[in-house]
Amino acid sequence: MEENLLGYLLGALDGAEHDEIEEKVSRDSGLRDELAALEEKLAPLQAARWDYDPPDGLAQRTCQLVADRSAAGELAVQPASRDQVSDGYEAVGSNAGREWTLFDVVIAAGIFFAAALLFVPAVAQSRHQAQLLQCQKKLGVLGQSLAQFAEMTNGWFPSIPSTGPYSVAGCYAPQLMNAQLVNDHSDFVCPGSTLWKQVHIFQVPSQDELTQAPRHRVIFLQRTMGGSFAYNLGYVENGQYQPLRDRGRSYYPIMSDTPHLTTEGHVSQNHGGRGQNVLFEAGNVRFVTSQTIDQESQDNIFLNDVGEIEAGLHADDVVIGHSAARPSKFRPFEIRLHFKFKRQAPRDDD
């Protein structure tokens, strides 16, 4: 736990771990005291922490120096001399007649925290990269399954019905499971998401479970059945809703890490708010750091052209929706009127 508290203080934990430690600290007074003690010990280093970047190779050179000195016997603990004590360094502790001075303790603590400042962020970054790659692998597996689904349905990806328990973006998951194109429920869970903690119990609901569940249970299943990924909501053309068709485009997003609904731009929190993996129609996966795919289009992939989490207003208006998102808040025969009014310019007297 102490290393997690240190990582928390140094800002080296990812979003899920940071939130977990924060929750534990808020409930445990002992952890709060321990955190305060660590913070006090780090205080002398904080003033210079953000002002200087460590030189390249510092950690490696430091470890090599320690190894060389240790091999030469220069790091053996020696008894404090009378001169050291008389110079103002009070001897503290003892070990078989050999004493450390206060100066030794300060130097050792400085080395420890300096190493922590270098090591803990490096470990966190390594863990982040590993989770990112695992997430990309899972999206790649889902991309292959979606392509196989399209081959079975004359080129159509899983469509979102207008009514019923399947009428949300997360319906892609049970459709792939029902078609036996995905057999492992964990393929729908990103290792960088908070849902990963419950991956051992996560289940994509079956068709029977969805159709037979009471209303409150259906709402819960709709929110979770897409796992920690989001799916394209389709678009409206000539007043008619259009599901996705596989055209093999390497630039057209069809899935991503699920967006966060309360953050600016809805950037996913699956990877600590740094961005999201995006699966494209051709099966390629790319990590993007904002809600847009490129700077030229400036198209928010989580909102349509009028800022709604609904189907796109045209074929190029990409909207990737969270599991419970619907293509429209209105019934099918109202879609044409809904989008017509939304696209009208406001009147002068409004």
Q: What is the mean pLDDT of the chain?
A: 78
Query: Would you say 21 and 13 are in contact if contact means Cβ atoms under 8 Å apart?
Result: yes
CB-based contact 227:189 (threshold 8 Å): yes
Q: How many CB atoms are located within 10 Å of the residue 303 CB?
A: 21
Percent pLDDT > 70 in the chain is: 65
pLDDT, tens digit, 9 for 90 and up, residues 227-263? 999 999 999 998 899 999 999 999 999 999 999 988 7
Higher pLDDT, 91 or 325: 325
Q: Is the pLDDT of residue 290 over 90?
A: no
- Report pLDDT for 296: 67
**Does the reported pTM lie above 0.75?**
no
Nearest alpha-carbon partner for 205 in 220, 228, 221: 221
pLDDT greater than 50 at residue 86: no
Residue whose C-alpha is closest to residue 106's, from 126, 90, 121: 90
Domain limits of the chain? 131-343
pLDDT at res. 101:
66
pLDDT at 187: 95
* 15 CB neighbour count, 10 Å cutoff: 19
Per the CB < 8 A criterion, the answer to whether 136 and 147 are in contact is no
DSSP H helices, the chain, are: 2-10, 15-27, 29-49, 58-71, 82-86, 102-152, 172-178, 207-212, 215-224, 335-343
- What is the distance between the alpha carbons of residues 284 and 218, in angstroms, rounded to a whole number? 33
Question: pLDDT digits over 153-169, tens only?
Answer: 999 999 999 888 999 99
